[in-house]
A and B are shown apart, each in its own frame.
Chain A
Amino acid sequence: MKAVKEMTSWDVEAIRKDFPVLSRTVNEKPLVYLDNSASSQVPQTVIDRTSKYLAEEHSNIHRGVHYLSQHATTAYEAAREKVKRFINAGDAKECIFVRGTTEGINLVAYSYGRKFIGEGDEIILSAMEHHSNIVPWQIVAEERGAKIRVIPMNERGELIIEEYDKLLNERTKIVAIAHVSNSLGTVNPIKEMIATAHKFGVPVLVDAAQSVPHFPVDVQDLDADFFVFSGHKIFAPTASGIVYGKREWLDAMPPYQTGGGMIRTVSFEKTTYAPIPEKFEAGTPGIAAGIGLGAAIDYLNALDFEAAAEYEHSLLEYATARLSDIPEVKIIGTAANKASVLSFTIEGIHPHDIGTILDQQGIAVRAGHHCAQPVMQFFDVPATARASFAFYNTKEEVDKLADSIQKVIEVFA
């Protein structure tokens, strides 16, 4: 086995105590939760904050003059402020609450697309996108008579940047790319890719669903035009998510969903819209989820997130080394720069069988196409098994994973 850098002094046992679910058993075995890329677990502080809202503060925001409504509004807007600081947005108004990454990308695709994409225009995506960063653009392209162009990748699962540079031209209207691939773990050089797009005056949407859980981000430093992520992948409840957009774009874009809360005045002749962020927040949002997201950000801020990222990376290296030692295992996604996502296949064994057998050992991994069928097609596999790590996972859990993979191989021998 390759030598692996000694892990940092991250007190993982203390961190694990913050997450109640981690002490439960599954199939009479201690839970080994390695499906963090799908949804991460929730710390007690977030559970408490969300419960407190439901128990003591629940009411509709923006509507009431009464105490509770004002209180809920303040809490919800405070969460927006936290998001702003978390990603270093210039203004909290540039942070729009949505249900998650999927809804966020749909918002940008339809709203931006209707206004700025026309006949013969081009939309650049990459070969490793999640379906949620493909399908909305396909529909917009079809509606507008535009074309999808795809940045290819190499067999390690890295984007071929020279090809990207060649794809950009005066017909390009937007680039939409993952910061980190959910199926391969590749970290894309988005800062450089954004700078290149900007030379053509083209805005870039970053699908940050898999980057915000793994390392600190700064949307102004990246100069991202749109930056979208999900709360449930950063230790918050489901149904919270964020679209960050630069004000100049958001101001220029038409509303996405319409109805209550996003208007200034309505008559049957004409409706005028509220300014951002309300313009893009029709209807009653996931208030508890939004407040939970704020609490999750508080939790992350209280940690040394840099140290967490470093620890997580050492886990990835350890897991990569352990799995590389098993001859039947093939790791899919071997980019030089990776976040802690480890996709693999085992010769002759379908990933679903791997997933079921690991589950019997209490180990939760993902088995499937990870909503990235083009990636599966590229690597010519029907599916992969995927272990994805968070800063609360341990070296012992990686050992259990590797040992259980050996068992899977034995069962099928």
Chain B
Amino acid sequence: MSELSELYQEVILEHNKNPRNFREIESPDRTADGNNPLCGDALRVYVKLDGDTVTDVAFKGSGCAISKASASMMTQFVKGKSREEAEVIFDEFHRMVTGELNAEAEENHLGRLKIFAGVLEFPARVKCASLSWHTLHAALQGEGEVTTE
């Protein structure tokens, strides 16, 4: 179960059970819906902005442990960051889970989010980890809706 324990680490299981910022934001500045039609994962990301700073970010929806934990940790991670910083992390995260960025060897800002590198061994689950990030990205771009397949 070595690979498996790499995917379902304590941290991920814990965030799945007690997702952070799992709520709506009243009168958000940005929202977007993310859907993964293959899995039926569906979530909505809410963003509150003060100028260029993400002052609050939250999510609601249903999904697997990987998608929920990823969304939960994402909200913790980007809160207080600038839009630009959030976009940089989105890009790094995306490259990490698709194997383009070796988060252990190359410089990056992913910090705790590095545990999601484990999904690389589970091609069917990459979309689960990245759905919330694509949704946040869409919200920040003012796009409103994303689908990953």
Interfacial residues, chain A to chain B (CB-CB below 8 A): 27, 349-353, 356-357, 360, 368-369, 373, 376, 382-383, 411-412
Contact = CB atoms under 8 A, between A and B. Distances in A.
B11 interface: no
Contact of B1 (A360, A376, A382): A360
Contacts of B13: 411-412
Given A368-B39, A368-B40, A382-B40, A360 B65 contact: no
A27 B7 CA distance: 15
Given A368-B39, A382-B40, A411-B8, A353 B1 contact: no
B65 A412 contact: yes
Across the A-B interface, the 7 shortest Cβ-Cβ residue pairs: A350-B64, A382-B40, A352-B64, A360-B4, A383-B40, A353-B65, A353-B64
Contact of A352 (B1, B4, B17, B128): B128
Contacts of B124: 352, 356
Contact of B40 (A349, A360, A376, A411): A376
Interface string B1-39: 101100110000100110000000000000000000011
Nearest to A355: B124
A32 to B, nearest CB: 16
Contact of A349 (B39, B62, B65): B65
Contacts of B128: 352
Contacts of A352: 39, 64, 66, 124-125, 128
Contacts of A412: 13, 16-17, 65
Contacts of A382: 39-42, 62-63
Nearest to A381: B40
Given A356-B122, A383-B40, A411-B13, A350 B8 contact: no
Interface in B32-81: 38-42, 62-66
Nearest to A369: B40
A376 B4 CA distance: 28
A357 B4 contact: yes
Contacts of B122: 356
A183 to B, nearest CB: 13
Interface of B: 1, 3-4, 7-8, 13, 16-17, 38-42, 62-66, 122, 124-125, 128
B29 to A, nearest CB: 29
B126 to A, nearest CB: 12
Contacts of A351: 64
29 contacts: A27-B3, A349-B65, A350-B62, A350-B64, A351-B64, A352-B39, A352-B124, A352-B125, A352-B128, A353-B8, A353-B64, A353-B65, A356-B4, A356-B7, A356-B124, A360-B3, A360-B4, A368-B38, A368-B39, A368-B40, A369-B40, A373-B40, A382-B41, A382-B42, A382-B62, A383-B39, A411-B8, A412-B13, A412-B65
A360 B2 CA distance: 10
B5 to A, nearest CB: 9
A215 to B, nearest CB: 31
A357 B8 contact: yes
Contacts of B3: 27, 360
Given A352-B64, A373-B40, A382-B39, 14 more contacts: A349-B65, A352-B39, A353-B8, A353-B64, A353-B66, A357-B4, A360-B4, A376-B40, A382-B63, A383-B40, A411-B13, A412-B16, A412-B17, A412-B65
A167 B54 CA distance: 54
Contacts of A27: 3
A323 B92 CA distance: 42
A42 B16 CA distance: 39
A360 B125 CA distance: 13
A350 B63 contact: yes
A357 B16 CA distance: 15
Contacts of B42: 382
A343 to B, nearest CB: 14
For A349, A373, A411, the residue with the greatest tally of chain B CB atoms inside 10 Å of its CB is A411
Contacts of B38: 368
Nearest to A351: B64
For A353, A360, A368, A411, the residue with the greatest tally of chain B CB atoms inside 10 Å of its CB is A353
Nearest to B40: A382
Contacts of B65: 349-350, 353, 412
A357 B124 CA distance: 12
Contacts of B39: 352, 368, 382-383
Contacts of A368: 38-40
Nearest to B2: A360
Contacts of A383: 39-40
A353 B17 CA distance: 13
Nearest to B125: A356
For B38, B39, B122, the residue with the greatest tally of chain A CB atoms inside 10 Å of its CB is B39
For A349, A351, A352, A412, the residue with the greatest tally of chain B CB atoms inside 10 Å of its CB is A352
Contacts of B17: 412
